[in-house]
Amino acid sequence: MHRIENSSFSEELNGVRGIAVLLVLLVHFNTMSFGWVGVQIFFVLSGYFISKALYLAKSKSNSLSDYIFLFYFKRAFRILPAYISYVILFILFSLYFRRMESVVQLSIPLITFTTNLFSVNNVKVDFTGVGHFWTLSLEEQFYIFWPFIIYYFDKKRFCYFLFLLIILSPIFRFFYFDYNYLITRNAILSGGSVNVFPLSHLDAFACGSLVFLIDIVKTYLDKYIVILCLIGISVLFILVASISLVYNFHPNGFRISYLLTLGFPPLLLDNYGYVWGYSFLNLIFGLLVYLILKCPEVFRLLKSHILSFTGKISYSLYIYHVPVIIFTDYLAGMEIFTNKLIHLLINFLLAYILAYLSFKFIESKFILLREKYMLKFHQKLN
């Protein structure tokens, strides 16, 4: 049996997390349409880290109850403090601006982590301020069943299961889009429903988990092989992106806005992109994560101070960048915000300040508290 390292932290993957959240911020700051793929990177990384954490919990637990408690206890201390703090602030500001109806409508999905499911074809509810929680809700839903799969499946069956998910997920997206289109007759709503539905992204989590299974086998890739693989990935991506851009060339002229999607626009509505596009990106990101783990020295830039810091506060940065957008849009009439570059820089500055405060005074405090309780729990097990 291959030993699983106790620490799941990787400076290089922390840098990847930083890049992912920066991409999300860029698309939400209306700067780079391709930035939505940061969410796919997060899903692939989650598949890797959560599977690793679950196998580690399994190796340290004497029973199913210990295993489940160990996993959910750690996740609760990691996810809930910043989330609950934000939700409380959201409720207070909603009451101040007399948006009581929104608070009532959103209370159940916010409490149950079902914002994504609640938003499917729901155009009557105002999700301002909490719409970005669809990704967090989707991940929490993933946590419901994944621990049991890893606990009861051996590595061979788990590997077969992952390949099955990678094959079935695009098939599900194809039929689920058609099902929604029959109801709504609206391609954007149907594409949005596919995007936020948990079963649509099982292949992303599966790709990350598969990387973990392969990474257990401690092999080393020569840096020149990794560089050749990176060149191959780049060529493949450019080829697919170019084909996508050509097929969607606007008949009335060139669209610079579409160029900024790099051939992968949000919702992937063109040429059945919602079927194959997600799969393509998930496999590409999964392969990149694998190469980073196998030859980290090629990716030294991922350990830069800015990416390291951004990766560390990425969770709070993702949560708190949305109110920054609301605030600066509210002040958009001021002269300082007429310059798009200045507007962008102010958005980043405020988002980083809020995220750092959240990390320092909320996240880090509860992480330390979690480690204290985990030490007592392990002593009890031993």
Sequence spans of domains, the chain:
11-381
Distance (Å, whole) CA 144 – CA 142: 5
Give the whole-number percent of the chain exceeding pLDDT 70. Answer: 91
Q: For 115-136, write each residue's pLDDT tens digit.
A: 999 988 676 788 899 999 999 9
pLDDT for 157: 94
For 106, which DSSP code? Answer: H
Among the residue ranges 110-114, 143-147, 250-254, 372-376, the one predicted with the least confidence is 250-254
Which residue, chain included where needed, has tokens 């989590």?
Answer: 205
Residues 6+ apart with CB under 8 A from 378: 60
The pair of structure tokens assigned to 302 is 């991922």
The pair of structure tokens assigned to 299 is 């990716």
Distance (Å, whole) CA 173 – CA 59: 35
Q: Phi and psi for 340 in degrees, rounded to 5?
A: -65, -35
Residue 40, pLDDT > 50, answer: yes
At residue 3 the predicted structure's pLDDT band, cuts being 50, 70 and 90, is very low
Which residue, chain included where needed, has tokens 């788990």?
Answer: 158
User: Quick one: average pLDDT of 284-298?
Assistant: 93
Give the whole-number percent of the chain exceeding pLDDT 90. Answer: 65
Q: For 184-193, write each residue's pLDDT tens digit.
A: 999 999 999 9
